[in-house]
Amino acid sequence: MTVNEPGRNLPPAAEARMAEVRRSGTWSSALSTDEFAAIRSAGFEPVGQVLGAAVYNLGYTGGYGCPAFGSGYGLGPFGGYRGGPFAGATATSGGGTFGSYAPLVRTMYEARRQAIGRMTAECQELGGHGVVGVQLTIGSFPAGGLEFKAIGTAVRAPGSAALREPFTSDLSGQDFAKLVLAGWVPVGLVLGISVGARHDDWATVSQTRWGTGNIEVSGYTDLVNATRHDARHQLEADVTRHGADGVVLQQMSIRVGEHECPVQEGRRDHVLEATIIGTAIAHFGRRRETAKPPLAIMSLDPGRRQAARVRLG
């Protein structure tokens, strides 16, 4: 079971594992040799491998209506089909319109943040200042549902005061060291998630028929652009929530699926999931300026040039 107390969100098994690690006086990590050396060069040391997991059952996900519902073209005064072709319309989870998957996206955010929060709690238990090399994964759970998992290596800067909340980062050890040495620090993992759905209208169907030729499928282009835009908007909001200056991206992916339109028989709706994962960063010191090479100046006075030749032999 998970302990739901302020400041603690660890299962008893994780508490016991953290206590065992502290008693052993050793540490484990998911770092390569190069990553370990890079982190040490930046003044940090690993304190242990940390993990956070959450298993969620996906019930109501939204998206049960046609995304073109209410777009006005081909629909009756109460949304009923009146014989004309449906107009293409992309519904994104961020827009919260009818036919969107907003409930699903809220659950995906919640599950990932639960996993990250439990991983961060393990980092605090070990006295770490943050977690590097975080890997966020989603997999099916044998008993049903989905497992959301976050795993990384907790690190600390010896002699530094404890942080109110450890940072999280999906940067590699080498990238983490470069960031710190350049005057920047990771603040936290940030997410941009959006699910968009679009009805395959008459234009999309005609553009994807065999023999149409090499042409752009405008409906699919709109689906990709609208969903990616919404995901970027959600990412920017997460960066702002962390109070960071910007974000460095490590992962941007899309998944596409389709299902039969629930309103118009014989037509399909396409669904696209866009996910962006990165590390929010903040500047903590004056930017280092690249050292300029010395400038050689030759005197125009013939007497001084001769004196210089004599001194140099």
228: nearest Cα among 202, 205, 249, 207: 249
Cα–Cα dist 146/24, whole Å: 33
Q: How far is CA 243 from CA 12, 177, 238, 306, in A?
A: 32, 21, 9, 63
Is residue 26 within 8 A of residue 164, CB to CB? The reply is no
Strand residues in the chain grouped as ranges (E): 45-56, 90-92, 130-140, 146-156, 167-168, 184-199, 246-260, 268-283
pLDDT digits (tens, 9 = 90+) for 70-114: 444 444 333 444 444 456 678 888 887 666 788 889 999 999 999
| pLDDT on residue 149 | 94
CATH of the domain at 78: 3.30.110.70
pLDDT digits (tens, 9 = 90+) for 265-277: 788 889 999 999 9
- pLDDT > 50? residue 288: no
pLDDT digits (tens, 9 = 90+) for 34-55: 999 999 999 999 999 999 999 9
Identify whether 305 is part of a domain: no
pLDDT digits (tens, 9 = 90+) for 197-231: 998 888 888 888 888 889 999 999 999 999 999 99
Identify whether 306 is part of a domain: no
Identify whether 301 is part of a domain: no
In the chain, how many domains are there? Answer: 1
- pLDDT > 70? residue 307: no
Identify whether 43 is part of a domain: yes
% helix / strand / coil in the chain, to the nearest 5? 30, 30, 40
**DSSP character for 127?**
T
- Dig out the tokens for 264 from the structure: 């118009």
Residues β-bridged to residue 8:
5
Mean of the pLDDT values across residues 141-146?
A: 88
- Dig out the tokens for 175 from the structure: 């990238």
> Which distant-in-sequence residues (6+ apart) come within 8 Å of 173 by Cβ?
31, 32, 34, 35, 36, 37, 38, 39, 132, 133
Identify whether 312 is part of a domain: no
Which range, 160-164, 196-200, 271-275, 307-311, is most confident?
A: 271-275
Cα–Cα dist 281/246, whole Å: 6
Identify whether 211 is part of a domain: yes
Q: What's the half-sphere exposure (Cβ side, CA atoms, 13 Å) at 56?
A: 22
State the CB neighbour count (10 A cutoff) for residue 108. Answer: 23
Identify whether 295 is part of a domain: no
Identify whether 212 is part of a domain: yes
pTM of the predicted structure, to 2 decimals: 0.76
pLDDT digits (tens, 9 = 90+) for 107-126: 999 999 999 999 999 999 88
Q: Which domain holds residue 275?
A: 27-283
- pLDDT > 50? residue 7: no
